[in-house]
A = this chain, B = another copy of it.
Amino acid sequence: MSDPAKPVRIAILGPGTVGSEVVRLLSEQGPDLAARVGAPLELAGVYVRDTSKDRGPHLPATVLTSDASALVAGADVVVELMGGIEPARTLILEAIAGGASVVTANKALLAAHGPELYEAADAANVDLYFEAAVAGAIPLVRPVRESLAGDHITRILGIVNGTTNYILDEMTRRGLSYDVALKQAQELGYAEADPTADVEGHDAAAKAAILASLAFHQRVALEDVYCEGISAITAEDVIAARETDQVIKLLAIAERTPEGVAVRVHPALVPSDHPLAGVHGAFNAVFIEAESAGGLMFYGQGAGGTPTASAVLGDLVSVARHRANGGKGPRESHYAVHDVLPIEAALTRYCVRMAVEDRPGVLSAVAEVFAQHGVGIEIVRQVPGQTHAGLILSTYAAPERDLRATVEGLRRSDAVAAVKSVLRIEGE
């Protein structure tokens, strides 16, 4: 145990949206943070590329440095908020090698190079904390890896991308088209000029890999995550969902079955009375099913400078307390070795919406296609149409590969004029 009065020296790398808020809060809440840590927190310096740029009252030139390696070498805790792979990866490894603990919000780095970083931290016996990387302000890492450490998580369904939830929610509540909702999200700053990482599900996939690794005590890589975005969702899909008391959400899903672990991101129909259905706007929420605890949900802001800074500071207090008083957070837990299943093996339910010929025998022809692939039909709804009749079928759970083969069969069938949409059903 070191002298409790000895300050813990903090280095911040990257004072951007999140980092600048961390610096502000550090300076405004000094006495409170010191009381919680048991030692004062001292800002050792802030790494920037350009020290001459004006960065406001909390970032005077005296705290800025462009020598990251020297800053890292003199710190007890390094807070990495630059994002991206390099130089973040190298600086974190330098920090760990020098005996500093690390706090990061960098989901891209963790999803791509997590194991290397966890191993380095374990070997050096320092902490590597990353609450802000999973769902911004929402506490998830401690609940999953500590509170639920005596339980078995069987499934996670997460709304972990605010941009796509905002777009889908506007489509649902205001009847907007995808394009209009996306444009509105961009105007309001919820979506970036190039929205690909959000709308194609890549951001959610990185979070899904991190969550699945924590939940199932084994490593799940970004490549293991099947990923489909929301850009194909139409206003018609949203209306059809509402008519059956469902809403469309982009979900990050991690499941443990007897066969293995399946991790995927895709839009899904969720029943209106599921707690996730009530998550509006850019909010995030993660629904966790555990064997003993049952269903749990964690809800809050998944992004934004100040909310994300809250999670970073929570981590900072924990690791600084360990520096001041001894102790260390939980190590990476990766003792399990379930197979990571390809999407083809995942058990899902499909809702298939199609236009069919308006003549007798069509339903039996359609049903025959499902039967050929061993896929059970749970609900059939017919909707009158102009040139063609509408048919909406929901299946029982079946392997994805059989469902895909069924949809291929429907596309080839004479009875089917068009398969208009295929959405998975989750959360029942």
Chain A positions within 8 Å of B, measured between CB atoms, are 21, 25, 29, 32-33, 35-36, 131, 137-139, 141-143, 146-152, 217, 273, 275, 278, 280, 285, 290, 292-301, 304, 306-307, 309-318, 321-322, 325-328, 330, 333, 335
Contact = CB atoms under 8 A, between A and B. Distances in A.
Given A35-B217, A143-B142, A147-B142, A292 B309 contact: yes
B293 A152 contact: no
Contact of A297 (B143, B300, B310, B321): B300
Contact of A137 (B296, B314, B322): B296
Contact of A314 (B21, B146, B312, B325): B146
Contact of A298 (B149, B298, B311): B298
Contacts of A295: 299-301
Contact of A146 (B137, B217, B298, B318): B318
Given A149-B313, A151-B313, 18 more contacts: A32-B152, A36-B333, A131-B147, A137-B292, A139-B147, A149-B317, A149-B318, A150-B309, A150-B315, A275-B299, A293-B307, A293-B311, A294-B300, A296-B299, A298-B298, A298-B299, A321-B330, A327-B328
A155 to B, nearest CB: 14
A313 B290 CA distance: 13
Nearest to A35: B335
Contacts of A301: 293-296
Of A21, A151, A335, most B-chain CB atoms within 10 Å:
A151
A147 B139 CA distance: 6
A305 to B, nearest CB: 9
Contacts of A25: 150, 292
Contacts of A273: 280
A310 B35 contact: no
A332 to B, nearest CB: 12
Nearest to A136: B293
A104 to B, nearest CB: 15
Contact of A148 (B141, B309, B314, B333): B314
Q: Which of A298, A306, A309, A335 has the most CB of B within 10 A?
A: A298
Given A137-B293, A294-B300, A330-B321, A314 B275 contact: no
Contacts of A280: 273
B314 A151 contact: yes
B142 A292 contact: no
